[in-house]
Amino acid sequence: MIWQLDVIFCLFVIICAIAAINVKDLLAAVIILGAYSFFMCILWTEMGAVDVAFTEASVGAGVGTVLFIAAVNKTKRRSKD
Amino acid sequence: MKVVALITVLMTGALLVYGIEEMPEWGDPNSPASTHVSPKYIQEALGKTATPNMVTAVLADYRSYDTMGETVVVFTAAIGCVLMLRKKRKGEKGEGD
Amino acid sequence: MLEYVLSKYNFWTYAILLIIGLYAMVGKKNLVKKLIGMNIFQSAVILFYISIGVKKGGATVPIFLGDAHAAHGHEIIIDAAHYFIPLPHVLMLTAIVVSVATTGVALAVLILIYKRYKTLEMDEIMKIRQDTGA
């Protein structure tokens, strides 16, 4: 494992998390959450947890994002904070 | 509201930092987690289950009841979603319509 | 100082992510934002467990690298220092699937709340509940 790459991905994950809770558009927030999940996936692959990484990529980032988008589509897209 | 949330969160963060101070060095092969229970699983998984992948050996052989419970949880969640989001038939009273 | 921070950067990342998720759950008023915070919180905990399973010094993923069929029936000595710890991986595999199930149920409840109150902001919902006395 290359620690410089690891630190860069940790920073990306933190930036994605902060962006996901600060964006006012809920659809954008959900998509950023999907990007966050994929970065988390890369981090876990680097740490040797390959099974966890591909479960997260398919179930967490894929199915979770689809569920979120369906729910946002049925409700309001704007949020006040 | 925001100030109370911020104070709560910062206090939790201080507790977390205090906990991380006590953690062993990251990736240390002599840490308690890697010397106590896990070597037994790593050494015996291939001989007892004939599965090269240790994660699936533990998931489906040593802890298969746990996995069965997990599928029960997912099934219950699916049933709950369907019951909450189905279209109501005529004459049936329900929330929201 | 920098060396001290870098020696445990995974744990620091976990602490920061957990704080962000907790703040979103407590401080934000929109219900979808609260759910996003819950997801971030869960992956932070999962990151912590996966970090525990790492061993430095020549360890690889926990998959037996030799010929497994030839190994069947014979005694094979496996050095535990050559593989990462598989137990946290297994537990977190279960945790990810369960977290998606809880997210699905929470989103279904959220759609029901929207059908009834026509809003997703927590303060407006509380105000409507006080006005109607329900």
Rounded to an integer, what distance in angstroms lies between the CA atom of residue C51 and that of residue A44? Answer: 9
The answer to whether A51 contacts chain B (CB < 8 Å) is yes
List of chain B residues whose C-beta atoms are within 8 Å of the C-beta of residue A51: 53, 55-56
Say if C45 falls within a structural domain: yes
Identify the domain containing residue C104 by its residue range. 2-64+77-132
Residues of A in Cβ contact (< 8 Å) with B55: 51
Q: How far apart are CA C27 and CA C36, in angstroms?
A: 13
Give the residue from chain A lying closest to B26, CA to CA: A47
Residue A25: helix, strand or coil by DSSP?
A: strand
Tell me the CATH number at C102. 1.10.287.3510
Ranked by mean pLDDT, the top range of B69-78, C58-67, C77-86 is B69-78
Indicate yes or no: CB of C17 within 8 angstroms of CB of A14: yes
More confident site: C4 or C111: C111
Does a structural domain hold residue A81?
Answer: no
Find, among B52, B30, B50, B51, the residue nearest to B39 by Cα.
B30
- Touching chains, C (3+ CB pairs < 8 A): A, B
Structure tokens at A30: 């959900």
Q: Within a 13 Å sphere around the CA of B32, how many CA atoms are in the beta-carbon half?
A: 3
SS3 C83: strand
Of A71-80, B85-94, C76-85, the least confident? B85-94
Q: Find all residues with CB under 8 Å of A39, minimum gap 6, and list them.
A: A9, A12, A13, A16
In angstroms, the first-to-last Cα distance of chain B is 34
CA distance A67 to chain C (A): 7
- CB atoms B39 and C80 under 8 Å: yes
**Rounded Cα distance, C51 and B17, in Å:** 16
Q: Tell me, what's the pLDDT at B22?
A: 85
Distance, first Cα to last Cα, chain A: 39
The contacts found for A51-59 with CB under 8 angstroms, 24 or more apart, are: A51/B53, A51/B55, A51/B56, A51/C89, A51/C93, A52/C46, A52/C50, A52/C89, A52/C92, A52/C93, A52/C96, A55/C93, A55/C96, A55/C97, A56/C43, A56/C96, A59/C96, A59/C97, A59/C100
pLDDT in tens, C105-133: 999 999 999 999 999 999 999 999 999 87
Q: Are A39 and A15 in contact (CB under 8 A)?
A: no
* Cα separation, B64 vs C71, whole angstroms: 24
Chain centroid to Cα C59, Å, comes to 24
Residue C70 belongs to some domain of the structure: no
Q: What residues of A are in the C interface, CB distance below 8 Å?
A: 1, 3, 6-7, 10, 13-14, 17-18, 20-21, 26, 29-30, 33, 36-37, 40, 43-44, 47-52, 55-56, 59-60, 63-64, 67-68, 70-72, 74-76, 79-81
CA distance to partner chain B, nearest, from residue C94 (Å): 7
Assigned domain for C72 exists: no
pLDDT digits (tens, 9 = 90+) for A42-73: 999 988 899 999 999 999 899 999 999 999 99
The one-letter code for the residue type at C105 is V
Closest CA to C34 of C116, C131, C96, C125: C125
Whether residue A39 is predicted with pLDDT greater than 80 in this model: the reply is yes
Query: Do B9 and C109 make contact, defined as CB atoms within 8 angstroms?
Result: no
Q: For residue C122, give both structure tokens.
A: 């927590």
Query: Where residue B9 falls among pLDDT bands split at 50, 70, 90?
Result: very high
Q: Which residue has the higher pLDDT, C107 or C71?
A: C107
Per mean pLDDT, which range of A48-52, B32-36, B69-73, C109-113 is the poorest? B32-36
Cα-based torsion angle of the residue sequence C64, C66, C69, C72 in order, rounded to the nearest 10 degrees: -70
Query: In which region does residue C57 sit, left (phi positive, over 0), alpha (psi from -120 to 50) or beta (all else)?
Result: left
Q: Which domain does A23 fall in, by range?
A: 3-74
Q: Considering its fold, how many domains does chain A have in total?
A: 1
Q: How confident is the model over C65-93, as a mean pLDDT? A: 80
- Nearest residue of chain A to residue B59 (CA atoms): A51
Residue B95 has pLDDT above 60, yes or no: no
